[in-house]
Amino acid sequence: MLGHADSRLFSDRCRRLTSEQVDVIQGPRWHIDLQPWAGPAQSLDEEAWRFLRYISTTQIACDHMSTESLATDSSPARKPWSVCLDDRFSLAHQIRNKQCRLYSLGLGSDDTHFEVSMANNGCEVHRFDPSVKLAHVQESQRLWYHRLSVDWRDPHPAVVAQNPHSNTRKLGSILNEFGHHKIDVLKADLESAEWKVLENLILEDVLEQIGQLIFEIHLHWPGFEVSGSDSSVVRFWYSLLKEIELKDFRLFHSYKDLSKPQLFLKKDIFNASSCYTLSWVNTRWK
């Protein structure tokens, strides 16, 4: 028989073991949680309608968006990279105090107007692009270019051993290498790699280190390493965006690019564009 003190000690130990066991059971996530199907038919029309309505409906109002980033019909080449400068979300404060940090992920785009503008306004800007000629280039006082491609996986150890200067990294790995714990703004134009990169940011909890997201999403095909029927692909896209919402990010700006083909998974459906630019703010960002 256990005495009262022994019983209490045993109970406390069990509670500690249970907590540790829960941590082990949870462990790292390997897959996102898929949302229920949009309708009983599990059809592309049902999934596409839900998805397109979701990305076209802002979830929070932003009264002060950066005017430099808003595209107009007269400048179709300039993309609408919109950040929210409302005081409640701290980005404006960070810029004023020269403590803002922006990461820009791209693939050879010549349009760096947004990055230059943010650097001129007081942000420390890091542009990651595998087409850059040198490993690291400081373009101006607050603007750096890095010959790195942000991926959803790190190189295999054997590859790293042969080529320690591999140009591919996960964003979490780059943050660790640079000693950066927070990014006030993450801008990405990854030409259909955005879905797997977003998935990696969710699975590895990197989103918690980001204040605002600006992603160009591409809908003309499933994207790199995204497979399945058309309806299951759209369900996966939608589930990714719902995971972002669960992390307390809210969509404050949505831009439908009418200069791109009006195709959705190679189909003409619901007048969708093949390209949208979406901006979210982390409502818990300090």
Q: How confident is the model at residue 69 (pLDDT cuts 50, 70, 90)?
A: very low
Q: HEC states along the chain?
A: CCCHHHHHHHHHHHHHHHHHHHHHHHCCCCCCCCCCCCCCCCCHHHHHHHHHHHHCCCCCCCCCECHHHCCCCCCCCCCCCCCECCHHHCHHHHHHCCCEEEEEECCCCCCCHHHHHHHHCCEEEEEECCCCCCCEEEEECCEEEECCEEECCCCCHHHHHHCCCCCEEEHHHHHHHHCCCCEEEEEECCCCCHHHHHHHHHHCCHHHHEEEEEEEEECCCCCCCCCCCHHHHHHHHHHHHHHHHHCCEEEEEEEECCCCCCCECCECCCCCCCEEEEEEEECCCC
pLDDT > 70? residue 24: no
Q: How far apart (Å, rounded) are the C-alpha atoms in residues 95 and 164?
A: 35
Average pLDDT over residues 243-266: 96
pLDDT of residue 153: 86
Tokens of 92: 């404006």
Q: Which amino acid is at 196?
A: K
Q: What is the mean pLDDT of residues 213-227?
A: 96
Query: What tokens were used for 30?
Result: 């390997």
The pTM score is: 0.85
pLDDT greater than 60 at residue 198: yes
Task: Give the up-direction half-sphere exposure of residue 29: CA atoms within 13 A in the CB hemisphere.
Answer: 12
Please name each of the domains of the chain with its CATH number.
44-66+81-282 (3.40.50)
Average per-residue pLDDT for the chain = 86
**144 near 126, Cβ under 8 Å?**
yes
**Looking at residues 227-235, what average pLDDT do you find?**
97
Q: What is the pLDDT of residue 70?
A: 40
Model confidence at 29: pLDDT above 70? yes
- Placement of tokens 């003409």 in the chain: 268
Q: Which of 102, 115, 150 is nearest to 129 (CA)?
A: 150
CA–CA gap between residue 190 and residue 188 (Å, rounded): 6
* CB-based burial label for 52 (10 Å; 0-12, 13-18, 19+): buried
Predicted confidence (pLDDT) at residue 84 exceeds the cutoff of 70:
yes
| Res 119 pLDDT > 90 | yes
> Which pLDDT belongs to residue 107?
74
Q: Contact, 252 vs 185, CB < 8 A?
A: no
For the cut 80, the answer to whether the pLDDT of residue 276 exceeds it is: yes
pLDDT at 38: 98
Regarding predicted confidence, which is higher, 271 or 166? 271
Tokens 């992603």 — which residue?
215
- Which residues, including other chains, have CB under 8 Å from residue 32's CB and lie 6 or more apart? 199, 202, 203, 236, 239, 240, 243
